Homo-oligomer: A and B are copies of this chain.
Amino acid sequence: MARRTQEQRKAETRARLIDAAAELFATKGFHAVSAEAVADAADRTTGALYSHFGGKEGLLLALLDVWKERTAAQLSDEVASAPDPGTHFAAMWGSITRPAADRGDSWLLLEVELWLHGARDAQVGSPLARRYAEVRQQLGEGLDQWAEVTGTRLPRTPYETGGLVLGVLLGCALQHRLDPGAVPEQLVVDGLSSLLGLRTPCDVHDPSAPVPPRPTKGKRS
């Protein structure tokens, strides 16, 4: 009874191949990685890969499925455990930019790699678009519920809010990856707060204020 069944062995091989593919596709790129390299990294052979997924393309699609579930679960956890949007934003930003234990620092790379394939191939793009829609929805609903609890009101629908928040996070993460100093966490959290109408109102653009002390910490004059 200690011996693993075929089912278990099959599932493990699948998982090993998908994990290896996630790592390699992210760090090197789909077309730059051979099927054999993926199989080697998973301690299997190309034969097993073809048996399970029919080829590299099939492996990519399977990876997309797993990726969907993982990120959805992670998002739910984060939304549920945040006391307020500020820390929520900081947590999300951290999970995007900080390298995590289970997924190196390649999360963003794989995300962009998948996006590129989705933009070029509808077979990948269609499920990917659904996933983005779900993220917008979950993100927006979470923020909307928080707003309701605290008596504030979002200036946009939850879905629209989710789109803008996701946009800021993605766009800033892209810049952060190439130049971390250019996009500090505080700036992102601050920008997201502005977007949700949570900032100190009415005083930032009052023309009558004589000389509002101008922040000067940004790069370059």
- Are A113 and B116 within 8 A (Cβ)? yes
Q: Is A153 engaged at the interface, CB distance under 8 Å to the other chain?
A: yes
Q: What would 16 more interface pairs be, CB under 8 Å, given A119-B178, A156-B187, A202-B202?
A: A109-B119, A112-B119, A125-B178, A132-B179, A137-B220, A152-B207, A153-B209, A155-B194, A157-B216, A164-B187, A167-B172, A168-B168, A168-B171, A170-B175, A201-B201, A201-B202
Quick one: which of B29, B129, B167 contacts A31, CB cutoff 8 A? B29
Least Cβ–Cβ distance between A180 and chain B, in angstroms: 10
Residues of chain B lying within 8 A (CB to CB) of residue A218 = 140, 156-160
Query: Copies of this chain, how many?
Result: 2
Considering the chains assembled together, what is the distance between the CA atoms of A133 and B220 in angstroms?
9
Closest to A164 in B: B191
Q: Is A182 engaged at the interface, CB distance under 8 Å to the other chain?
A: yes
Q: Is A80 engaged at the interface, CB distance under 8 Å to the other chain?
A: no
Considering the chains assembled together, what is the distance between the CA atoms of A31 and B76 in angstroms?
36
Considering the chains assembled together, what is the distance between the CA atoms of A40 and B69 in angstroms?
42
Give the 3 A-B residue pairs with the shortest CB-CB distance, closest first: A167-B171, A171-B171, A31-B31
Closest to A130 in B: B179
Least Cβ–Cβ distance between A117 and chain B, in angstroms: 8
Q: Is A120 engaged at the interface, CB distance under 8 Å to the other chain?
A: yes
Q: Is A128 engaged at the interface, CB distance under 8 Å to the other chain?
A: yes
Q: Mark A97-111, 1 if CB is under 8 A from B, else 0.
A: 000000000001100
Residues of chain B lying within 8 A (CB to CB) of residue A201 = 201-202, 205
- Are B160 and A166 within 8 A (Cβ)? no
Q: Is A75 engaged at the interface, CB distance under 8 Å to the other chain?
A: no
Residues of chain B lying within 8 A (CB to CB) of residue A65 = none
